[in-house]
């Protein structure tokens, strides 16, 4: 359990001190955010704010995890490493997107096909590897069965599982990307979901099927739940430290570097902890904002009319006159309620299995 505390504190500390160093470096190189003219007018003042801030919490998370293993003399697990691979791999794709936007002065960054190809390569690699490396009980980091609070139903088979995993990875990485439109919104919401997965990992570890004492009805057949909690704690701490600098008025933006990485980490934690469908509730704000874009685009194509003044949803409320801070705080409250409901359902699932 000490690992969780150490990783969280290290992630927080490294991100707190590393982010201002990155701000100075990016400002010196002139790597500032490009603001589209079709967005809310209030956002034009943000033009030039350093972006690619995701570099800070990606490095903080990786270093925190590595140092935790050194300090506690514990070995890394394949589940933890796979989640960090997905997190970092999608962060690299996002970095290339941000870099092209800034250096090449191309407002949309990577070409859509190139960006999708990068996400697919990283996602497929994660999905395939997650079905390898079985432990002594024959349990792999991921399961080919669907899951809510635990696995249920029949096996999807490896091919359909890879497609399902890709859907989750793409949906969450792009969901966080869409949410990252206001200062601190995506970062604060991510902190809450990573906190949820820290709790889930600890609970699964205490009720693991691999433990002869706790094995029984409702036990969790997850190979490395404690290490997943260590990864989640490092992510939570790193995002919390970054939030200090990313909250309004933001001194730095996470960019696609950060948003794609965070979405990948969320999907990876859900897949490896057997809580795939529960993620839609735990990360309810990301789902809500993504749905607003789907509804807006669908409505305009079918009827020629818009449902919202602007999508994603946060900009709709800005155009209604809400201040940026008001939107962020109220959306954080919504995310907090999603987190509470999700954890409640997770616990209810365990109680029902007893």
User: Which parts are annotated binding residues?
Assistant: 177, 256
CA angle 229, 93, 13 (to 5 degrees): 40
Helix (H) or strand (E) holding 147: strand 145-147
Cβ atoms within 10 Å, residue 210: 18
Q: CB-based contacts of 221: which residues, under 8 Å, 6+ apart?
A: 139, 143, 150, 151, 209, 274
Give alpha helix (H) positions in the chain.
Answer: 2-29, 54-72, 78-103, 112-129, 158-179, 185-206, 225-246, 255-272, 279-282, 284-303, 313-319, 324-352
Q: Which two tokens stand for residue 310?
A: 């602007």
d(CA 290, CA 284): 10
d(CA 187, CA 244): 10
Q: Which residues are annotated as a binding site for Mg(2+)?
A: 177, 256
d(CA 55, CA 253): 10
Sign of the Cα torsion 335, 341, 343, 345 reads: negative
d(CA 172, CA 338): 15
Helix (H) or strand (E) holding 153: strand 151-155
Note whether 333 and 189 are within 8 A (CB): no
CA angle 250, 255, 256 (to 5 degrees): 160
d(CA 252, CA 254): 7
Tokens 């949803």 — which residue? 313
d(CA 14, CA 55): 12
């Amino acid at each position: 359990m000490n690992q969780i505390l150490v990783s969280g504190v290290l992630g927080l500390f490294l991100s707190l001190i590393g982010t201002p160093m990155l701000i100075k470096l990016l400002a010196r190189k002139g790597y500032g955010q490009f603001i589209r003219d079709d967005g809310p007018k209030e956002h034009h003042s943000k033009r030039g704010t350093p972006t690619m801030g995701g570099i800070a919490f990606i490095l903080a998370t990786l270093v925190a995890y590595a140092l935790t293993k050194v300090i506690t003399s514990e070995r890394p697990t394949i589940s933890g490493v796979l989640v960090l691979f997905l997190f970092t791999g999608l962060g690299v794709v996002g970095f290339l997107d941000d870099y092209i936007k800034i250096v090449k002065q191309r407002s949309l960054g990577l070409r859509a096909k190139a960006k999708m190809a990068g996400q697919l390569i990283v996602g497929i690699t994660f999905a395939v590897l997650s079905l390898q490396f079985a432990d002594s009980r024959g349990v792999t980091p991921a399961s080919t069965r669907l899951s809510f609070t635990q696995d249920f139903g029949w096996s999807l088979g490896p091919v359909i599982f890879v497609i399902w995993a890709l859907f989750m990875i793409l949906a969450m990485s792009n969901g966080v990307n869409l949410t990252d439109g206001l200062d601190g919104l995506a970062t604060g919401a991510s902190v809450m979901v990573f906190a949820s997965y820290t709790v889930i990992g600890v609970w699964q570890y205490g009720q693991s099927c691999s433990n002869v004492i706790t094995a029984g009805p409702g036990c969790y057949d997850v190979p490395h739940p404690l290490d997943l909690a260590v990864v989640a704690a490092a992510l939570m701490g790193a995002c919390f430290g970054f939030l200090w600098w990313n909250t309004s008025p933001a001194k730095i933006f996470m960019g696609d570097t950060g948003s794609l990485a965070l979405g990948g980490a969320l999907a990876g934690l859900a897949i490896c902890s057997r809580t795939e469908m529960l993620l839609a509730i735990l990360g309810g704000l990301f789902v809500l904002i993504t749905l607003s874009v789907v509804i807006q685009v669908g409505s305009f194509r079918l009827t020629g009319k818009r449902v919202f003044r602007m999508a994603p949803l946060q900009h709709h409320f800005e155009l209604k006159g809400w201040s940026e801070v008001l939107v962020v705080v109220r959306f954080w409250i919504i995310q907090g309620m999603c987190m509470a409901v999700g954890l409640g359902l997770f616990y209810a699932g365990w109680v029902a299995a007893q």
